[in-house]
Homo-oligomer: A and B are copies of this chain.
Amino acid sequence: MANQAERTNTFKVMNEYLNASVYVKLKGGEGVKGVLKSFDQHLNLVLENAEELTERGSRSLGTVLVRGDSIVAISPVK
């Protein structure tokens, strides 16, 4: 079992993303980009100025709540 040190680090990176622009890769190949405003232990998260990115193009969403269950990966937008 991961020792407690690693355990907390996994979410530490999310704190570093707070108020930064992130790209959220969703199951099924789509994505959402926006400023991370909050998240919880299930990786449910809230993005502001969010944009939905799909094969059909992008669409502005404003503030969006994304369910952690649909998320594959989260990375900062450079």
Contact = CB atoms under 8 A, between A and B. Distances in A.
Interface of A: 1-2, 6-15, 18, 23, 25-29, 32, 37-41, 43-46, 50, 52, 61-76, 78
A7 B73 contact: no
12 contacts: A2-B15, A2-B38, A2-B39, A6-B39, A6-B40, A7-B40, A10-B40, A10-B44, A10-B46, A12-B38, A27-B28, A65-B74
Closest 8 CB pairs of A and B: A9-B38, A64-B75, A61-B75, A70-B72, A10-B40, A7-B40, A6-B38, A66-B73
A6 B2 CA distance: 15
Contacts of A44: 10-11, 43
